A = this chain, B = another copy of it.
Amino acid sequence: MTQDRSDPPAHDITTEIDSLRTALTRNKGKRIRRLLKTMHPAKIASLLETLTPEQRIAAWHQIDPSVELKVLSHLPIRLRVQLRRAMDADAKVALGELNQPISEDTAAAADYDEPETQLSLVFDALQNGKLKRIARLFRELHPARIAGLLESLPAAERATAWSMVDNERTGKVLRHLHEEVRQRLAAEMDLEDLVDAARRLEPDDLVDLIQDLPDTTGRQILQAMNMRERARLESMLSYPKDSAGGLMNMDQIAVRANIKVGTLLRYLRLLDELPPNTDKFFVVDRKNQYQGILRARRVLTARPEAAVEDLMETDFEPVLAEQSSEEVARRFEQQDLISLPVVDAENQLLGRITVDDVVDVIREQAEQSMMRMAGLDEETDMFAPVLASSRRRAVWLGINLLTAFLAAWVIGLFEGTLQQVVSLAVLMPIVASMGGIAGSQTLTLVIRGLATGQLESRNTRILLLKEAGVGLLNGLLWALVVAALAIVWFGNWAIGAIIATAILVNLLCAAFAGVAIPLLMRRLHIDPALAGSVVLTTVTDVVGFFTFLGLATLVLL
């Protein structure tokens, strides 16, 4: 057992060292772990001895905890102490004893200046190459929290941390990631690992994942499934992602109306564990036609000899697979549901939708309309590469530039006026800005009304009158205030009167535009949240500049 690190002896394990070294320099954590898993602890020990201290620590961090002690027993004492110390420090970190000075090992302790958050723990571990700490932390966290941490990391760090997620949990973590991040991390995985992760997912989550992946990868995953699974997945994949069919799962428990509660309970005991969110069973006939629901809480409180048909509810409406996920979410929210049966046009029971997926839909929808209003429709990854981000946002800036040039063109019409009364140039942004703010308030109210389904053709006119009233009152108020300020500033009564009129006109126009634009877009099948504010500010800019400078031209020249 030599300790010559710089020049490893050329015996029979050279190739393994080589591939391990390559993997270490390339930071391919998963590959290192796969290599290490196939080796005997003694072999790993001799391997560790041949590595440089940095490489040794890095490789050590990839060794499975179950063989750690065995590997240690094969090492010379000096190395054993060194690695044990690193381990102890890690254990303390993992146990949250972060504020206690860590004996001797001051180098390790010095790394933890700001140990408050799990995120900073991950960052520190990444900076120091102590990947095992990340693995240990991840093992204690819920997959959703791991997903959140991964999304908080920039791309390179994210890939490294991602490689430390246990194979059994990669699927669950993937499920909780936002679309863009999920695509990118899945694309970096070996197909073999991806298929393995996919197998551990619930069918509805797997369908989501396949829909987010490139076509060929998706097909490869499907081919790795067995016949029955594949048929099931393919039927689920046939529904669009934002439909009830795309949201549904197929883990429902269907029962016949004529059985007794006792029989049902015996059957359930055979299952050992019910699928999560099973608050009701679905009653079907022989042809799998949906007939009604049986609530689990009725089963809990019923006598064993009671029949399902006496306990079931036949007036519970199922949802059609084609219905939009938005409608489904609204129904869950309004009726406080946990699960909902999905049927096809022939009333055949297809599956069920559960509240956990609906909560995700609600959050995503709400997030989307906020992001869309800033033209960030697809930007679900906070740390997307600069180039990708720039390209996507450039589109929005380009559209805005067109409208800005339109406003500039309107100003250009009055160049002569501006030349003679330059104070108009000083005041004109005020008119445009007040209109833009007032209009965007109306716009936001209308977009929300459309999203909640509370705004219809029958009450639009009433809302328009109300908003016009608000525009009139605020128009009068601020017209007077601005006029007074303008008169004080420029000592010109005419300019005060002109700006007051322009502000009043612009606020009234803003109210009309704020109501009309989203309704018009809806009729043209454009999402009002996406383009509404650009169109609105164009209107208020153009009207504001035109009224103000136009009036000035008429009055002052």
Task: Tell me the smallest distance from the CB of A5 to a CB of chain B, in Å.
Answer: 34
Does A363 belong to the interface (CB within 8 Å)?
Answer: yes
Chain copies in complex: 2
Does A448 belong to the interface (CB within 8 Å)?
Answer: yes
Do A145 and B334 have beta carbons less than 8 Å apart? yes
Does A386 belong to the interface (CB within 8 Å)?
Answer: yes
* Assembled-state Cα–Cα distance A396/B394 (Å): 30
Q: Would you list which residues of chain A between 277 and 302 have a CB under 8 Å from chain B?
A: 277-279, 296-302
Chain B minimum-CB-distance residue to A147: B334
Q: Would you list which residues of chain A between 374 and 405 have a CB under 8 Å from chain B?
A: 374-376, 379, 382-383, 386-387, 389-390, 393-394, 396-398, 400-401, 403-405
Contact partners of A454 in chain B: CB under 8 A: 148, 151-152, 382
Does A434 belong to the interface (CB within 8 Å)?
Answer: yes
Given the interface pairs A303-B269, A369-B370, A441-B374, the reply to whether A474 lies near B390 with Cβ below 8 Å is yes
Do B397 and A437 have beta carbons less than 8 Å apart? yes
Does A429 belong to the interface (CB within 8 Å)?
Answer: yes
* Assembled-state Cα–Cα distance A277/B449 (Å): 30
Contact partners of A474 in chain B: CB under 8 A: 390, 393-394, 397
Does A250 belong to the interface (CB within 8 Å)?
Answer: no
Do A456 and B117 have beta carbons less than 8 Å apart? yes
Main secondary structure of the interface of A (DSSP, over half): helix
Residue interface mask A409-442, B partner, CB < 8 A = 1: 0011001001100110111111011100110110
Do B269 and A297 have beta carbons less than 8 Å apart? no
* Assembled-state Cα–Cα distance A457/B448 (Å): 33
Q: Which of B119, B371, B438, B463 contacts A397 (CB 8 A)?
A: B438
Contact partners of A441 in chain B: CB under 8 A: 374-376, 393, 396
Do A271 and B466 have beta carbons less than 8 Å apart? no
Count of residues in A whose CB is under 8 Å from the partner chain: 124
Does A555 belong to the interface (CB within 8 Å)?
Answer: no
Do B386 and A469 have beta carbons less than 8 Å apart? yes
Do B426 and A429 have beta carbons less than 8 Å apart? no
Q: Which of B299, B400, B412 contacts A426 (CB 8 A)?
A: B412
Q: Which of B142, B151, B268, B335 contacts A142 (CB 8 A)?
A: B335
Do B401 and A470 have beta carbons less than 8 Å apart? no
Given the interface pairs A300-B296, A303-B269, A333-B363, the reply to whether A429 lies near B432 with Cβ below 8 Å is yes
Task: Tell me the smallest distance from the CB of A316 to a CB of chain B, in Å.
Answer: 12
* Assembled-state Cα–Cα distance A24/B153 (Å): 67
Contact partners of A67 in chain B: CB under 8 A: none
Residue interface mask A331-360, B partner, CB < 8 A = 1: 011111010000000000000000110111
Which 7 pairs from chain A and chain B are nearest by CB? Answer: A366-B366, A144-B334, A336-B356, A425-B425, A386-B469, A274-B297, A374-B444
